[in-house]
Amino acid sequence: MAGLRDCLPCLMVRIRSLLFWSLVYCYCGLCASIYLLKLLWSIGKGPAQTFRRVAREHPPACLNDPSLGTHCYVRIKDSGLRFHYVAAGERGKPLMLLLHGFPEFWYSWRHQLREFKSEYRVVALDLRGYGETDAPIHRENYKLDCLITDIKDILDSLGYSKCVLIGHDWGGMIAWLIAICYPEMVMKLIVINFPHPNVFTEYILRHPAQLFKSSYYYFFQIPWFPEFMFSINDFKALKHLFTSHSTGIGRKRCRLTTEDLEAYIYVFSQPGALSGPINHYRNIFSCLPLRHHMVTIPTLLLWGEKDAFMEVEMAEVTKIYVKNYFRLTILSEASHWLQQEQPDIVNKLIWTFLKEEKRKKD
């Protein structure tokens, strides 16, 4: 009996692991079937339109707007990868590092590059595999450990030991992990529309609504098919994410301009440009949940209440994982693309958080 009791915890862990991976693969199959039906429907309606793709050889002018900053590159010694970033503000000022989500790139921070350069060296990074940053071929090169090390190495290469770290969506996930693993590197943490990673993994298993909203996580586990689905109909799926009534930016005066939208399509229509970003998701189920999960630095969490991909309840639960000053601000009628949709409000909230903490120290 004593031996059975000793084996029981190990057995329960294995059973839970089996159930978890069964859920993952079953849902992957379901998502693939749904998207295959969508593809067949599209081909049936118009095969020529389905496979139409406009050649985009030159970037839109907005990507070279000098008011946004300077395009720079840094090569990391250990990994050998070259990272692209846009920097605004004087060298030597405190560093503000911006990490974008999916399917975004440095340009999603255009409003923040202009806003915070007066007091910070603002760096908007293209994450590994995105935009002009190098994209390793193998999915193993996109494990969370690699992504965390990238940020640490970039900080070192830029000549900084600390930064104000801001992340949105998947960039928010990485920002949380940096704050957990390397708290000495982060002066302030600001996350937009992504909960603490432990909250996300626990919540998704208990709430079918969030499981449905995160279906793309499962769909992305399939090789090459997600990339293909994004590219059909001249990247209609990409346009839909930013412009549709269900998932897009809701406020009329803040919607992406034709040139903004073309910038996104230009970047992701380049050969192989979708594989790197989607590979980020192809390792996530083997990396979570976390062993060490407490955040010990001042944290601001901003959330769009109308986020089509994340349940707002996760934002409330996140506070139990922050053992320091924590502020949560939920913006009603705001979507997932918060820093692009409501830049004035977001910038003001960030300024308030940064200055409030500074006054407390003084």
Q: Is 169 a catalytic residue?
A: yes
Q: Is 281 a catalytic residue?
A: yes
The Cα 69–Cα 331 span in angstroms is 28
Q: Please pick, among 126, 134, 150, 169, the residue that the annotation labels catalytic.
A: 169
Q: Please pick, among 85, 217, 266, 281, the residue that the annotation labels catalytic.
A: 281
Comparing CA positions, the residue from 328, 325, 329 lying closest to residue 360 is 325
The Cα 223–Cα 183 span in angstroms is 35
Distance of CA 316 to the CA centre of its chain: 20
Comparing CA positions, the residue from 121, 125, 114, 41 lying closest to residue 81 is 125
The Cα-based distances of 131 to 28, 47, 200, 231, 296 in angstroms read: 27, 29, 27, 16, 32
Q: Please pick, among 84, 100, 196, 336, the residue that the annotation labels catalytic.
A: 336
Q: Is 336 a catalytic residue?
A: yes
DSSP, res 17: H
Give exposure, 196-206, as e/b (b: 16+ Cβ within 10 Å): bbbbbbbbbee
Q: 252: which residues sit within 8 A by CB, 6+ positions away?
A: none
Active site residues: 169, 281, 336
